[in-house]
Amino acid sequence: MTPTDLPEWHVLAQRRRALEQIHIADLFDDDPQRTERFSFEAASLSVDLSRNRIDSGTLRALVALARASNLEKQRDDLLAGAVVNATEARPAWHTALRSTPTDPFVDPAWGARLQAERERFLQFAEQLRAGHVAGATGLALETVVCIGIGGSDLGPRLVTEALGPARRPCVRFAANLDPADLDAALAEANPHTTLLLAISKSFSTLETVENLKAALRWLKQRAPELDPKSHLAAVTSQPDRATALGIDPARVFTFPEWVGGRYSLWSACGLGIAIAHGRKAFGELLAGAAALDAHFAKAPLESNLPVLLGMLGVWYVNFWGIKTRAVVPYSQALQRLPAYLQQLEMESLGKRVDRAGAPLSIDSAPVVWGEIGSNAQHSVFQFLHQGTGWVPLDIVMIADHEGGDQHRTQLLNEFALAQADALAWGDRIVGDEPQPSHRAAPGNRPSTLVRLARLDARSVGALLAMYEHRTFVQSVVWNVNAFDQWGVEIGKQLLARRTRAAGA
């Protein structure tokens, strides 16, 4: 059975037709309590869905479709470590990485293994932060260059930056094969006090291996007397490949094969986060994600944040024909959130066949894009307000900005709310006088407000877990495997063939 065969799908098609001529502003006029009724909270996050093109009946119908798609069973399988990645015969058990020893979803044996490796890499991070990890000449390592790409880079880099600048050690990142990226990461670094941290699940990803080799050449050119082994560490699920490149086994940290790259920041792949911000912050990051996991597992679907957000995505893609969605974080520290979500959603959901291998008869992943506010107001918001089509967007805000210039941070949040209102109401929010066509803004353009209680590790952990589960919810309805990425592999295979032919 395909999703379109379900009666619940046809109910939603009828609701779509009924809402065609209804303006978002009219929904507020008809329901003075709309904001309260369409706002939900969990794990230090609050989500306001009131400015979307939905009514209460539509929300109930979306939840009914989720149930009819067997979401609850598939959610439980995911959280329990069942094989949900059929093409690779693996679980996708990233939630176990942030579990506690008493988590009922995690087998005690697995829990002990994960806890032991977590303790191992956190101890290394704390020793390095305390100045107790030395390079070849006995000087403490003070600069860490994390070399990875894709999920090995995007998540750890996002969180490291989101939690603010670290005094020492200085943690930098390099991902692109373009030499300029690694050059920038190594700029002004002292080879005697620099650690090269290679992060790769397979330890065969060409960009990462080549950048690591280039970084080693830099080390040898700048300080030929150094033993490079004292300046290397690695994170991988293939430790033998790392040690084969000369990395000390004591500095090779591992994670299970069933952890996908885009879900790996909770594992040793997040070592850069722990080095920059410490054991306590990393623990809070995991705790925030675990709190959202518990909410996803236990909250009724009618008030379940990932379920509601995921089904809203289905609503816009499949019943309104939306091809893109935007994410605008009103926080400079979250500037990499759109790029992180691009990978999470488009790699997970960019599939053309269902889990049985049959071609999809409906659209799946929209293009995800975004920019930070308030910068976006002077670039892409023209398109959002007056473009020929409309794009649903998430506006991500920090409820409590601690420290800094309170006046400007208050203005930042006011800007976010003003844009959400302008998108929803259009011209009518500033007066009844008609505008000339070149100035007219029709409104009726949906947005979702996502608020973090504050910009700290716990809230960031909850935010990213919420988007992970939102993505999974959509994969269930669309009946696609969210955990493989064979479209990425074909490029790797072709590159390997070309480099062999060229003798590179």
Q: Which amino acid is at 10?
A: H
Active-site entry in 10, 220, 323, 378: 378
User: Coil, strand or helix: which one is 260?
Assistant: coil
User: 454-457, long-range: CB within 8 Å, 24+ apart, which pairs?
Assistant: 454/44, 454/398, 454/399, 454/400, 454/401, 454/402, 455/162, 455/163, 455/331, 455/333, 455/334, 455/398, 455/401, 455/402, 456/163, 456/284, 457/159, 457/163, 457/277, 457/281, 457/282, 457/284, 457/285, 457/288
Of 316, 265, 347, residue with least CA distance to 95: 265
Does 378 qualify as catalytic in the annotation? yes
Residue 351: exposed, middle, or buried by beta-carbon count in 10 A (0-12, 13-18, 19+)? buried
Active-site entry in 347, 351, 371, 469: 347
Taking the mean position of all CA atoms in its chain, how far away is CA 119? 24
Contact 275, 263 (CB under 8 A): no
Taking the mean position of all CA atoms in its chain, how far away is CA 222? 37
Q: Which amino acid is at 14?
A: Q
Contact 127, 144 (CB under 8 A): no
Distances (CA, A) of 493 to 142, 204, 374, 499: 37, 12, 41, 10
Of 328, 291, 332, 316, residue with least CA distance to 474: 316
Q: Which amino acid is at 163?
A: L
Does 295 qualify as catalytic in the annotation? no
Please name the helix (run of DSSP H) or strand (run of DSSP E) that holds residue 7, with its range, or none: helix 7-19
How far apart are alpha carbons 173 and 453 in whole angstroms? 28
Burial 463-498 (b: 16+ CB within 10 A, else e): bbbbbbbbbbbbbbbbbbbbbbbeeeeeeeeeeeee
Does 492 qualify as catalytic in the annotation? yes
Which are the catalytic amino acids?
347, 378, 492
